[in-house]
Amino acid sequence: MIYPYLLLSSIIIPFSVGVLFLILVKDMEALLARFLGIFGASFPFICAWVIYFNYDTNNLDAYNFELILPTGLESLGIYLHLGLNGLSLPLLLLATTVGLSAIIYTLFSKAIGNNIYVGLLFIMFSGLIGTFSSVDLFFFYFFHELALIPTFIIVMLWGGVDRHAIALEMTIYLTIGALLSLIGLISLYQTSGAEAFNMIELKMALASQPLSELFQTNIFALLFFGFGILVSLFPFHSWAPKGYYAAPTGVAMMHAGVLKKFGLYGLLQIAIPLLPLGASNWASWLLVLGLCNILLIGLVTLAQKDLKKMVGYSSIMHMGYAFIGLGTLSILGSGGVLILLVAHGLSVALLFLLSTCIYHRFKTFNMEKMGGLGVIAPNLSVLFGLSILASIGLPGFANFWGEFVIFTALAESDLTQGFLYLAVIGIIISAIYGLKAIALIVFGVPSEVLKEKFHNGSLRDMSYLEIFCSIILFASLLLYGIFPKVLSDPINESLSKYNAFISTSVESRLLNNLNLKLDTYNE
């Protein structure tokens, strides 16, 4: 079957194209370089949709499109094991969509016409695809690092003000998070008795012989805080807004839109289903810290006057909804988280792109120095306004379904209803800062300088490049918003099995505790 090799090619081709850009490409405007870049960015996107349309939702007990290749580390239980299930397929679509938009924009943009920058961006793209395609945990971690290292290099070399200090801070935070999660994954493997270091073997081993509650609680803590740092969970979030502000547009789009989903995906795919008792013990912290992201970071977002900083803080804020969705430990909550991850990735990448487009018109990110964009760039104004509304959760866009399903999951349990009422405040905060940004940027009277540039023809509406890269993301938000079954169909059965395992384990623990109390009482 060709589909496993399409998955493998989606990883190899961007990496190979990236190496070619690093070594051979000198003239970024040469026709061959442009063709090579377009091919490297679009091939994984096309493959992802071919794979999607051939995905078998009835294949419940195994991954689709599995491919196992030797690595020389077989004695350690490590293979290059690729495959997709209902949790990883939507994130593969997200990675290839955001990657296509970010790379095409960078490739044709004159802001940074550097072959090394583009080459590193392609290597980052390859790592993103490999992360969500890996069944083996070693390569799951390896591909994440493959995507993360180019991020540090690009921010340090081509970032904005204070880029060296910001790159160093990002490196420290994300290295600590990655190490904690790696220790957690190794501990899980060592204590499970699994024959191979992959998700399938771990699940089989732990289903037949679950770990004790103490082991589960401790290992889940390592994964929770390790992955949480990578997702900018409060209070480990300070690196993210600085990093996004300093990062060039393409990197900000791919990191905030895709790479930051690694931690939540790890919790969703590995930590919660394999360590259900540990997850139930830490569920309240998932809810509390997620709520801190929504409310505290939301208030910080509200105070921002800089457009790019506002988008960066709003990205951190909306990750709080994903954490409280995981904290419900339910099928509904987990499904809502997965939809939200895709929706958030698309919307925040689009907002970073449009923020750069707006910057090119006003030459500043200070929203108080903007105004009148609706006069000089009506297409950009409409797209920016709709993108803000999508990120708030307007019905018709994918974000609405993610947040709505998470709120429904919170409402289903008496234990989490209080968090529901507080989390809804986040929608009000989002509406205030979002509509404020639209009012400051789109409406008002343009300055005399802008008017003069507009009348001279030196200042125009969106270019074809900006329209193309924006529409890829915006159309995806609409597609998943109008037809959410595009995402929900592949994940339903996977989540049913995954949460049945959680529910059974948690219920078993409650019954054991009850029997222990009865035995004590009888004695």
Give the per-residue SS3 of 185-252: HHHHHHHHCCCCCEHHHHHHHHHHCCCCHHHHHHHHHHHHHHHHHHCCCCCCCCHHHHHHHHCCHHHH
At residue 111, the pLDDT reads 62
**How many domains is the chain partitioned into structurally?**
1
Of 48 and 373, which is predicted with more confidence?
48
Per-residue HEC secondary structure of 434-452 comes to: HHHHHHHHCCCCCCHHHHH
Q: What is the mean pLDDT of residues 328-346?
A: 90
Could you tell me if 262 and 289 are in contact, meaning their C-beta atoms sit under 8 angstroms apart? Answer: no
**What percent of the chain lies above the pLDDT cut of 90?**
42
Of 508 and 52, which is predicted with more confidence?
52
At residue 194, the pLDDT reads 80
**What percent of the chain lies above the pLDDT cut of 70?**
91
Q: Report how far residue 500's alpha carbon sits from residue 345's, in angstroms, rounded to the nearest whole number.
A: 28
User: What are the residues whose beta carbons fall under 8 Å from the beta carbon of 25, sequence distance 6 or more?
Assistant: 33, 36, 115, 118, 119
User: What are the residues whose beta carbons fall under 8 Å from the beta carbon of 220, sequence distance 6 or more?
Assistant: 184, 271, 275, 278, 279, 281, 282
Cβ burial of 453 (10 Å; 0-12, 13-18, 19+) is middle
Tell me the pLDDT tens digit for each residue of 206-226.
888 888 888 889 999 999 999
Q: Report how far residue 520's alpha carbon sits from residue 110's, in angstroms, rounded to the nearest whole number.
A: 75
- pLDDT of residue 95 exceeding 80, the answer is yes
Q: Report how far residue 361's alpha carbon sits from residue 349's, in angstroms, rounded to the nearest whole number.
A: 19
Q: Report how far residue 115's alpha carbon sits from residue 93's, in angstroms, rounded to the nearest whole number.
A: 26
Q: Report how far residue 246's alpha carbon sits from residue 225's, in angstroms, rounded to the nearest whole number.
A: 25
Q: How confident is the model at residue 351 (pLDDT cuts 50, 70, 90)?
A: very high
Of 412 and 516, which is predicted with more confidence?
412
Range of the structural domain that residue 99 is part of = 3-522
Q: How confident is the model at residue 61 (pLDDT cuts 50, 70, 90)?
A: low
Work out the widest C-alpha separation in the chain, in whole angstroms: 92
Separation of first and last alpha carbons in the chain = 63
Q: What is the mean pLDDT of the chain?
A: 86
At residue 449, the pLDDT reads 67
Amino acid at 513: N
**DSSP β-bridge partners for residue 68:** 81
Of the candidates 92, 117, 115, 88, the residue with the CA atom closest to the CA atom of residue 29:
115
Q: Report how far residue 183's alpha carbon sits from residue 199's, in angstroms, rounded to the nearest whole number.
A: 16
Using the 8-state DSSP alphabet, how is residue 72 labeled?
A: S
Q: What is the mean pLDDT of residues 240-245?
A: 88
